[in-house]
Amino acid sequence: MASVHPAAIGSSGSSSSAHPASKPNGNPDEITTTTIKATAHLTLPAHPVPLTYDQLNPKSIPNEFYGPWGMTVVLFSTPLVAYSLFYLCNETTGCMPSSPRAWRLLGDLLGDWPATNGQFFEASAKPAAVYFGFFAYLVACWVFIPVEKTEGTLIRDGTRKAYKLNGLHTLFLTLGLTLGLLLRPGGIEMMTWPYDHWVPLLTISLVFAVAQAAYFHAQSYWSGELLAARGNSGNLIYDYFLGRPLNPTLPGLPNWDVKTFIEVRPGIIGWLLLNISCACEQYVRLGRVTDSMVLVLLFEGYYCFDSLWNESNILNQMDITTDGYGFMLAFGNLVWVPFTFGLQARYLAFHPVDLGLTKSALITAFVGLGIWMFRGSNSEKDHFRNGRNPKNLTYMETKRGTKLLTSGWWGWSRHPNYLGDWIMALGWSLPTGFTTPITYFYIAYFVVLLLHRQHRDDHACKEKYGDDWDEYCRRVPYKIIKYIVSFAVLVTGQDELSWQKLT
């Protein structure tokens, strides 16, 4: 009987030779080779002998984010940052650093804690009803909008999950309903409600994220589900933050993969709706929408559309294949994305900026450069991963049977899409002008985020590919930016390797 090692199963159309076998009706010395053709739909067990639960879920080492202490700091500081962005920049107190009232308000709220917790959080029943109604609507869209399921990557228990990716359909339906509301008499005024209840909605989403992460963490102890390879350390805070369950589901909805749903639905669509609410607020105040607000809506709206148009791409990302579902992903997608990424539109709602044609054109061209780099590099990778290579790109074979691109965008650097992301992020902030640095928080955060993600990616690839990754790094030495680092080497005279470690 022929057997195939799972590592030989690569992309669609790859083949591997099985062990030689004797002809059943002939000379036993004559050998024939059985060849099995693998396709993207073939699912083989990852191990010839079924592994036990403990073998599939070994204990991990708590070393990410500087271990449990580092994660504790991030766990408590990130919600504080989300609130601070509102209290340090709002229509009542103005924006730092030119507005000392903003600093005093935040200081008073924190200094009188917990007596001021009601004012700080501003939670109430109506925002909770609206928020959970919106979430229930998104779940209903997932259930009732028909779409063919998409297979994910082979996971370590030898299975592939099938995902229902109808996020783009949900976005179109949501925008259609929103347009219907805006066209009604008084609809624009009604759409300002989210802007007026920013902090209560932020609070409800935070409570929901904390509760979700806690529930699925607890469920992972009795459900028998596959655990995240890095979220099973035994340290409660570490595992709660990073995520213990790999693909959690609800008992009543066994086919509803919580992590992929949360990854792009509530945060991305909620972010876009908050931006529209801010534009409506500006229209109610001014009787018009400024060119700067239009640019922010278009730029960030394109990003939301692109995320859902390419929803299947998340199935190959570390968030889905490696990370568990814990506070990091729950908070990041439910709270951080909609309420911090929407900072520029919220600022422009109470501080309108008129750019003019020249500035608008320059900013648009700058963002277009970022989109070209981001989408071009991602499309190049996706085509290659799906067996298409229209540009005849060079690549190197690994011992695992997979291929790593070494030309095109991915020969320029190991993460060219990150640079495109940075350019777009800066372009979103430029329409707000330079009155306050707080509207540029997103680009500062994004630089830190992607540098950290690049480090995690490289570490994971080193573990996955071993010596092949070292050879790949030799062929593609630059991590994110190529020519800037080369210029820095020329100016400073430092050796290239030291700069590669930084970038």
Q: Which residue shows structure tokens 């902030």?
A: 429
Q: Is the peptide bond before 338 cis (omega within 30 degrees of 0)?
A: no
**How far is residue 10 from each of residues 319, 408, 437, measured CA to CA in Å?**
21, 22, 47
DSSP element (H, E) containing 458:
helix 441-465
CA gap 266, 181 in Å, rounded: 20
Tell me the average pLDDT across 360-385.
90
* pLDDT value of residue 495: 45
- Is residue 16 very low, low, confident or very high in pLDDT (cuts 50, 70, 90)? very low
- Digit-coded pLDDT (tens) for 298-335: 999 999 999 999 999 899 888 898 899 999 999 999 99
* pLDDT value of residue 74: 92
3-class secondary structure, 402: coil
* pLDDT value of residue 107: 58
Q: Is the pLDDT of residue 429 over 90?
A: yes
- Digit-coded pLDDT (tens) for 436-489: 999 999 898 888 888 888 887 888 888 888 998 999 888 888 888 775 554 444
CA gap 350, 293 in Å, rounded: 11
At 61, the amino acid letter reads I
**490 - beta bridge partners?**
none
Closest CA to 371 of 306, 455, 440, 277: 306
Residue 113 buriedness (CB in 10 A; 0-12 / 13-18 / 19+): exposed
Closest CA to 82 of 198, 214, 238, 196: 198
More confident residue, 275 or 100: 275
Contacts of 454 (CB under 8 A, 6+ apart): 414, 415, 418, 479, 480
Tell me the average pLDDT across 219-246.
92
Looking from the CA of 310 toward its CB, the CA atoms found within 13 Å total 17
Closest CA to 377 of 321, 421, 315: 421
Q: Is the pLDDT of residue 267 over 90?
A: yes
What are the tokens at 167?
Answer: 């996020």
Tell me the average pLDDT across 95-120.
55
Conformational region of residue 387, where left means phi above 0, alpha means psi within -120 to 50, and beta covers everything else:
left
Q: Which residue shows structure tokens 């309420």?
A: 339
Conformational region of residue 13, where left means phi above 0, alpha means psi within -120 to 50, and beta covers everything else:
left
**How far is residue 327 from each of residues 199, 276, 311, 400, measured CA to CA in Å?**
20, 28, 22, 33
CA gap 374, 423 in Å, rounded: 9
* pLDDT value of residue 383: 79
- Is residue 284 very low, low, confident or very high in pLDDT (cuts 50, 70, 90)? very high
Q: What percent of the chain has pLDDT over 70?
A: 80
In the chain, where are the structural domains located? 6-37, 122-354, 362-503
- Digit-coded pLDDT (tens) for 386-427: 777 767 788 898 988 888 888 888 888 888 888 899 999 999
> What is the maximal distance between C-alpha atoms in the chain?
93
**How far is residue 492 from each of residues 194, 482, 489, measured CA to CA in Å?**
51, 16, 5
Contacts of 263 (CB under 8 A, 6+ apart): 314, 319, 320, 329, 333
Closest CA to 94 of 410, 503, 473, 438: 438
Q: Is the pLDDT of residue 99 over 60?
A: no
- Digit-coded pLDDT (tens) for 18-62: 333 333 344 444 444 444 343 344 444 545 556 787 788 888 888
- Is residue 14 very low, low, confident or very high in pLDDT (cuts 50, 70, 90)? very low
Q: What percent of the chain has pLDDT over 90?
A: 49
Enumerate helices (H) and strands (E) in the chain, giving the number of each: 24, 10
Check if the beta carbon of residue 213 is closer than 8 Å to that of residue 326: yes
CA gap 434, 425 in Å, rounded: 15
Q: Is the peptide bond before 24 cis (omega within 30 degrees of 0)?
A: no
Q: Is the pLDDT of residue 3 over 80?
A: no
CA gap 198, 196 in Å, rounded: 6
Cβ neighbour number for residue 216 with a 10 Å cutoff:
24
